[in-house]
Amino acid sequence: MVVIDHYTLGYLTFAFMSLSMLSGAFIFLSKKREAWVKVHIILSILAYILMVLTIWYVR
Q: Is the pTM of this model over 0.85?
A: no
Residues 6+ apart with CB under 8 A from 28: none
The DSSP code sequence of the chain is: -----HHHHHHHHHHHHHHHHHHHHHHHH-S-HHHHHHHHHHHHHHHHHHHHHHHHHH-
Q: Give pLDDT, residue 39.
A: 94
| Per-residue pLDDT reduced to its tens digit, 8-50 | 888 889 999 999 999 999 999 988 899 999 999 999 999 999 8
5 three-class SS: coil
Please provide the size of the chain in residues.
Answer: 59
Q: Give pLDDT, residue 1.
A: 64
* Integer Cα distance of 41 and 39 in angstroms: 6
| Per-residue pLDDT reduced to its tens digit, 12-22 | 899 999 999 99
pLDDT band at 3 (very low <50, low <70, confident <90, very high): confident
